[in-house]
Structure 1
Amino acid sequence: MSNHLPTAHDAGTVPRDPERPAGLPEIEDPLTVSTSDARALSTPLFERLRSLEEGTASYSYVRNTLVELNLSLVKYAATRFRRSGESWEDIVQVGTVGLIKAINRFDPDRGNEFMSFALPTVLGEIRRHLRDTGWSVHVPRRLQELRLDLAKASDALEQDLGRPPTPAELCDRLHITEAELCEGRLAANGFTSRSFDVPMDDENDGPGMLARRLGTDDDAFEKIENLEALKPLVAALSGRDRTILSLRFGDELTQAEIGERLGLSQMHVSRLLGRILGGLRTALLTDEPPPAAPATPAARQPGSPVAR
């Protein structure tokens, strides 16, 4: 079965088409026929379609002519989904598939009008397409349908009440619980997605504005972790080493000022700081305690600043 839909450019002038079965009305361009004329022309085409064998060139010609005659029905149905986020061309293409299915199933002997018969099929085909492929994140069908019901109920209640409905009013309208309402609203967030690089509003067109709302790693947490890891290591140092660290990083004294305070040379303070910091760095990386400071006469003098 061919699904190719000939356009006016593809088919040329219908009366000169060698595949047109004899006895059919001549149609200059099916795409330009009015709705009322399309309804009248479709009747003999459906009668002829029933007498043709499926898969033949004549069958394909008649069916494709019916598709072109009733393509305005697809476009009418597609207008209901303009705000779905799907491209107009894709919606029309999917709706055309529904139109072909309706043509294949239509029985003119039942007395139904084709457009009334075909419209639900076209709409159903578009809805199935949007339900199955239109979501950025796949959610269960129950929640997909709940999202649509919430949107319809919310619009209807807002018109009746003159204000947005409360969650309790929505639950009462749809006969659902508040937990189900929350679940449906949460699932609705998965219908569409936005790039992190789009602006948050029309007034601010800077790049990556949406990404600025997202959480990021705070460098302060790493500092806190390092300080907590240093506490037992510093506590294990000698009194003199802790005093040097306090004077250097607490009081922010220079090495010369520390040496003057403790009666040491600047070079001696520099070597002590290098040993202390190197030991702490090694202990942080290897979980080993820093090496103990060698005993010095100055460290054992009672009453000296180092002993304190």
Structure 2
Amino acid sequence: MNAAEISVKESRDRLVTENLGLVHLCANRFRNRGIEYEELYSSGCVGLVKAANSFDEDRGVKFSTYAVPVILGEIKRIFRDGGTVKVSRSLKELSLKAVREKNSFISRNGREPSIAELAQEMGCEPDEIAEALSAAQPCLSLTRYVESDESEEQDIPSPFREADIYEGIALKQAMDRLEADDRKLIFLRYFRSFTQSRAAAVLGMTQVQVSRREKKILSELRKDLL
């Protein structure tokens, strides 16, 4: 593999790693419609990889804008096919190992690892890890809002609208503009469902500091999205 091919592969892997949240966002819109979430997510990951393989940044279109219709197309395909995504035994085994390693990494670092980091830890190729994670039980929902420390995750039932997907993309982009520590706080609270006290322990803060900082961050996010 020459330098140009390596650069293309690294760029594709980066697009997949940084945009797995789009797959969760799309798959969540099809919950409770007769097909398991794992299948929805797995199909969406296929679409994400296809989009990464064919994306041309010279067209002046953001990758997220380009990828969402491709992801949705793959998810809709399994409804037409009656839910036919199959996972091999070897992939299931690798998936379990990847999830264990992922959870271990989160416990050590307070954040989710990238696909490249997981691949390095497990001695696998990034493509193998991306496929393994796509077959795993997903660990987050992007269609929920937690009002208090002990609130349970609540899925928001609504008809599917592609506009919802693009609103979710706007939220992701707003999150990306936060400082690293603020992103970690929001990630722990709203994506890992940590209580304020538990998040404070990870971040080296007090519960009161977390509460105040969280309110300020949410206020900034709302202004950014309005």
TM-based fold match above 0.5: no
Compare relative contact order (CA 8 Å, sep 6+) and give the higher one, 1 or 2.
Answer: 2
The structure with the largest alpha-carbon Rg is 1
- What's the TM-score, normalizing by structure 1? 0.25
- What's the TM-score, normalizing by structure 2? 0.34
